[in-house]
């Protein structure tokens, strides 16, 4: 199931493509991916835009929470920005399921740079619809 | 001061440009902007990627919290996704200062679509460094 | 409906009683209440314990999101602590509905002290069960 | 240092006493504690009040982030309520440091019940003042 879910989602996910995201590991309730910071991802202080770091984590969260095959959408997310990232940095994101109930699931997502330093902590809560991803 | 801060930040802010953001109103502690959802901003369910909605709000937050002239960076953000957005939707974002202390400031950021419907609520907390934006 | 919901909930709500909460205004999607900080509510720095400020806001959120008559429980809450409170301070809490959907509702809750200064911002997301409060 | 910090804080922390909190383990950047849910901690649905679960986690966070000896106060907290708790349940809370910078520190706090089931996830961000705890 997870493999088909990922293929179905990636085929449509234009923004994940723009981010240059590569999914490294994927199974039920879990997703690990990486991407590289580019010049066009910078903000007004010439460091990575917070929205980019959020987006990489949000993609991992989306893939992980849809992995059971039910269309799931983000309700609430909290992110703490711990360290900046610069062009050339390779960010690795790991999304882990904390709990999945009938209608709601909770995920913990960590973003680290190529030196293993934490860049951001992200907590996501998803609503599980009754529709199938594929 | 605010005008020069915005010019300085926009000149470097590549991702805000990619988002197609237009700043409509800007003063100390306040920023209002809008942007239009494009096909390349969609996710694996063919609706807007959560990272895009976050990014639009994060840009408004960044401009507003830097408006006093001190370089300020996001610490914590919480976002609630209330309604989806689709290609062609025009999202308007309004960032308002709730409180600014010596080192920390708090902002409330709302994103609405062209029909006035709330798409997302965003709360941002920033750390105010002692460096000047310009 | 709201009046009966509030009576039903207050009759069982032991901790809201301990907090000394007085509900000042209550209608569908809205609750305003106040309470006074006591010595037994202090933390290890001799200021109000963060859990007390959270609790006052959480009670207002709970009353407001149950006001439509369906048992609703908190999923996610984000709180920003903006100013401290001390014994004798009277805190007023106002919970306002941002959006109510079929299964999920979103609330914005503000806590102010007797001088009108913001003590905390609180955002709550609730899951609406199919059970009735009364 | 941590031992003296904990003694100093506990001596004043009236609300932590009311909660019946017992600290089981304490060192720099870490705190583990437990407490038992009582009837007076219930809300209007006769389950534990969200403010109680928040408070137990907030005490662990406060002890952990003050453990380095500098007075540290909560800025932002996000909590996800995953499972309910009832009278007699024994909740164990573990606060772990994710990162400590010069002025800001980040903590991850988990609350579990006596069966090892997760009751709540809590993320806390603290501001580190230049004052000493003791």
- Find the mean pLDDT for residues D97-126: 98
Interchain contact A127–C (C-beta under 8 A): yes
Measured between alpha carbons, how far is B111 from B119 in angstroms, rounded to an integer? 5
**Residue B92: which pLDDT band, with cuts at 50, 70 and 90?**
very high
Percent helix / strand / coil, chain A, rounded to 5: 25, 45, 25
Verify whether the Cβ–Cβ distance A45 to B80 is below 8 Å: no
Q: Provide the pLDDT for residue C1.
A: 72
Q: What is the pLDDT of residues B93-123, one digit of tens each?
A: 999 999 999 999 999 999 999 999 999 999 9
Between the alpha carbon of residue A3 and those of residues A67, A129, C111, the distances in Å are 8, 20, 47
Q: What is the pLDDT of residues A45-93, one digit of tens each?
A: 999 999 999 999 999 999 999 999 999 999 999 999 999 999 999 999 9
**Residue D70: which pLDDT band, with cuts at 50, 70 and 90?**
very high
The CATH T-level fold of domain A2-132 is Thiol Ester Dehydrase; Chain A (3.10.129)
User: By the 8 A CB rule, do C46 and C113 touch?
Assistant: no
Q: Residue D35 pairs with which residues in a beta bridge?
A: D91
**Residue A1: which pLDDT band, with cuts at 50, 70 and 90?**
confident
Measured between alpha carbons, how far is A33 from A77 in angstroms, rounded to an integer? 19
Token representation of residue D99: 């990162």
Q: What percent of chain A has pLDDT over 70?
A: 100
Q: Is the pLDDT of residue C110 over 90?
A: yes
Token representation of residue C39: 């010595």
Between the alpha carbon of residue A29 and those of residues A32, A65, D39, the distances in Å are 11, 6, 36
Q: Provide the pLDDT for residue A34.
A: 98
Q: What is the pLDDT of residues C46-88, one digit of tens each?
A: 999 999 999 999 999 999 999 999 999 999 999 999 999 999 9
Q: Residue B33 pairs with which residues in a beta bridge?
A: B23, B93
Å between A96 CA and nearest CA of chain B: 18
Size of interface A-C (CB pairs under 8 A): 19
Q: What is the pLDDT of residues C30-44, one digit of tens each?
A: 999 999 999 999 999
pTM metric for this prediction = 0.97
Measured between alpha carbons, how far is C11 from A5 in angstroms, rounded to an integer? 48
Nearest CB partner across the interface for C80, out of B118, B121, B123: B123
Where along chain C do its domains lie?
2-129
Q: What is the pLDDT of residues D35-57, one digit of tens each?
A: 999 999 999 999 999 999 999 99
- Find the mean pLDDT for residues C117-128: 98
Å between A131 CA and nearest CA of chain D: 23
Nearest CB partner across the interface for D118, out of A78, A98, A123: A98
Q: What is the pLDDT of residues D11-38, one digit of tens each?
A: 999 999 999 999 999 999 999 999 999 9
- Quick count: other Cβ atoms within 10 Å of Cβ B115? 8
- Window 88-117 of C: residues touching B by CB (8 A cutoff) are 98-99, 106, 108
- Find the mean pLDDT for residues D64-78: 98
The CATH architecture of the domain made up of C2-129 is Roll (3.10)
User: By the 8 A CB rule, do A43 and B13 touch?
Assistant: yes
D34 backbone dihedrals φ, ψ, rounded to 5°: -145, 160
Q: Provide the pLDDT for residue D93.
A: 98
Where b means 16+ CB within 10 Å and e means fewer, B8-25 reads bbeeebbbbebbebebee
Q: Is the pLDDT of residue C45 over 90?
A: yes
- Find the mean pLDDT for residues A93-121: 98
Q: Provide the pLDDT for residue D107.
A: 98
**Residue D1: which pLDDT band, with cuts at 50, 70 and 90?**
confident
With a CB cutoff of 8 Å and minimum separation 6, the contacts of B66 are A44, B5, B9, B72, B133
Measured between alpha carbons, how far is C18 from C37 in angstroms, rounded to an integer? 11
Q: What DSSP element (H or E) covers B36?
A: strand B30-36
- For the complex shown, is ipTM > 0.90? yes
**Residue B1: which pLDDT band, with cuts at 50, 70 and 90?**
confident
- Find the mean pLDDT for residues D77-94: 98
Verify whether the Cβ–Cβ distance C75 to A78 is below 8 Å: no
């Amino acid at each position: 199931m997870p493999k088909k879910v990922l293929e179905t989602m990636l085929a449509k996910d234009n923004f994940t493509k723009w981010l240059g995201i590569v999914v490294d590991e994927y199974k039920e309730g879990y997703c690990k991916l990486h991407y590289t910071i580019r010049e066009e991802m910078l903000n007004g202080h010439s460091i990575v835009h917070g929205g980019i770091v959020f987006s990489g984590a949000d993609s991992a969260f989306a893939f992980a929470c849809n992995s059971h095959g039910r269309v799931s959408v983000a309700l609430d997310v909290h992110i703490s920005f711990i360290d900046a990232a610069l062009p050339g940095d390779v960010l690795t994101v790991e999304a882990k399921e904390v709990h999945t109930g009938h209608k709601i699931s909770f995920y913990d997502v960590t973003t680290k740079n190529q030196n293993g330093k934490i860049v951001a902590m992200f907590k996501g809560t998803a609503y599980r619809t009754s529709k199938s991803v594929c």
